[in-house]
Chain A
């Protein structure tokens, strides 16, 4: 075991897969000599050469579209979108094309592609460097969407994503890149896509979350533990496929569900989680489902006050836990 940051986990997954498999390559804006804006691909150009570390023109639809073509031709491309906020021009390629290639060709063509992008707030990224995009994509069958938040999950799930036979949207919370450190297994390992992680076992209420909020939820759980509230934290790790079994098992045990995400509340991932619980475990509940989410405004602003007001924090989460436990 080595202690790494999330960023190092991401880098090692890309690096090791490029070393292991000549079909794997990375393309995007500033991935070459700059080594990506967060320095994830630093040194890759020297090690792997221009053919496999491709600085593309500044045009997101073609970053994804060209990667799709390469995937259809037998490669394993990693298409990088510099910030999730820039992914919208590629929406057609991801939703209209990548997600449907296997289906529309009845398996004749496939699209083993990873689209990686940093998302999320907490870094003063303002309106166009802080959004969460998962809800804009998780409605779409044919896509897989990963939202890991620990170094081991980032490395293990990205390795799984690169080896996956289908397109994977791999969302990396940029606040976790250097903030979150943790032990990562040595050597070749994977973390499966579609299995939630019980980040903290507990018996009084279930927090169903993902991304940076996993860490905020753990912090909040420690606060309320001192008051006698034992919260279970479920980190979904992937929002499509979504681990229904883990959600239902946890709610079946604690009988209280708090859904937590940074993304806007309306139509967010929490809406689906709540629907799963309502459809399949309504009579397990001792309290109404609660959601703590980003507010329904377009994005978090540049000013510190906007960002702080937008993002759930351990205090707000702890307050919601207390309310729910007391119901």
Chain B
């Protein structure tokens, strides 16, 4: 993000004023959903929440760089903003938080944010770190085999890049030049373990050289910067020029999940300093500097997002929970075989 005194007159390629305002809206909608999840957890209404705060910009930028309805996303459990920017509604989000029977991701089976929305091209994931990265490669392989112009975006944190399966996935993708984009949301911590204890290289992007891929770094607290980098990689993949590893440097504003306490491994000063990196006020400032948004619009967008989240919360809370019979569905196509 450039300093506000040097504002470019033209908009970034591919982004209209309306799109930029929508990106902003997705960021605040996500923040409010995230706040709501933790509030519900503190109220004892939901057992668990995983935060997206600090990741909104990278995820919104990436989602808007894809061709919606065409490209597939294989996300990870911190990708609330990505999901809410790729067709998932606040009601659907709240249903998974409450583990309701009608939760379309898993019918209340999985932890929150484990999306599975085939009709919006979001693939199912587990909580096993990096296990989904090879799946994204396999999906991309399938699209290439069928000569379909579809790209697969695979996301993960920097901790994932320690897993052997992550390396196997990038190696396979590099050898077979599959149409995939690997997006690392580097938030500097894997629960409590800092990046320097995950890898001896300075950047996740440096790992790309080992697999014959370009490795690109972007500011993951800047949605436009992320959009531009991801968009370029996506179109490169679509043209058959192979995969790219992108490292979006962001941060995690809160503890890992509702069951973690970051005060045990970060100092109060460190935690306080993170506030200056919040992508939402930064993007607000960027939009304002270009005359794309004003205080009145911001207030009305926030009001709208709050109303959406409130309505979704009240609605989802009233929905039925799974029953004992639901335990036995979807084991096999033919039912729960012995």
Whether both chains belong to one complex is answered with: yes
Q: Which residues does A use to contact B, with CB under 8 Å?
A: 25, 51-52, 54, 56-57, 59, 61-62, 64-75, 77, 89, 92-93, 96-97, 100-110, 141-142, 144, 164-166, 194, 240-242, 244
Is A93 a contact partner of B106 (Cβ separation < 8 A)? no
Bound together, the chains give a CA A73 to CA B138 distance in angstroms of: 8
Taking A66-B169, A72-B139 as given, write out 7 further A-B residue pairs in contact, using a Cβ cutoff of 8 Å, ordered by the A residue number: A62-B171, A65-B169, A69-B138, A70-B139, A96-B131, A106-B116, A241-B338
Is A142 a contact partner of B332 (Cβ separation < 8 A)? yes
Is B329 a contact partner of A61 (Cβ separation < 8 A)? no
Is B332 a contact partner of A102 (Cβ separation < 8 A)? yes
Is A66 a contact partner of B141 (Cβ separation < 8 A)? yes
Q: Could you name 15 residue pairs across A and B whose Cβ atoms are closer than 8 Å?
A: A54-B176, A57-B168, A61-B164, A62-B172, A65-B133, A66-B134, A67-B138, A69-B74, A73-B143, A75-B142, A103-B330, A106-B107, A106-B116, A106-B329, A142-B331
Check: B124 CB closer than 8 A to any chain A CB: yes
The smallest beta-carbon distance between B96 and chain A, in angstroms, is 11
Check: B114 CB closer than 8 A to any chain A CB: yes
State how many residues of chain B have any CB contact under 8 Å with chain A: 47
Query: Which secondary structure dominates chain A's binding surface?
Result: mixed
Q: Which residues does B use to contact A, with CB under 8 Å?
A: 72, 74, 103-107, 109-110, 114, 116-118, 123-124, 126, 128, 131, 133-143, 145, 164-165, 168-169, 171-172, 175-176, 329-334, 336-338
Is B124 a contact partner of A93 (Cβ separation < 8 A)? no
The smallest beta-carbon distance between A108 and chain B, in angstroms, is 4
Residues of A within 8 Å of B141, CB to CB, are 66, 69-70
Question: Chain B: which residue is nearest A71 at the CB level?
Answer: B138
Q: How many A-B residue pairs have CB under 8 A?
A: 151
The smallest beta-carbon distance between A139 and chain B, in angstroms, is 13
Known: A57-B168, A62-B168. A70 touches B142 (CB 8 A): yes
The smallest beta-carbon distance between A147 and chain B, in angstroms, is 16
The smallest beta-carbon distance between A23 and chain B, in angstroms, is 9
Contact of A73 among B142, B168, B331 (CB under 8 A): B142
Residues of B within 8 Å of A108, CB to CB, are 104-106, 116-118, 124
Is B106 a contact partner of A72 (Cβ separation < 8 A)? no
The smallest beta-carbon distance between B47 and chain A, in angstroms, is 17
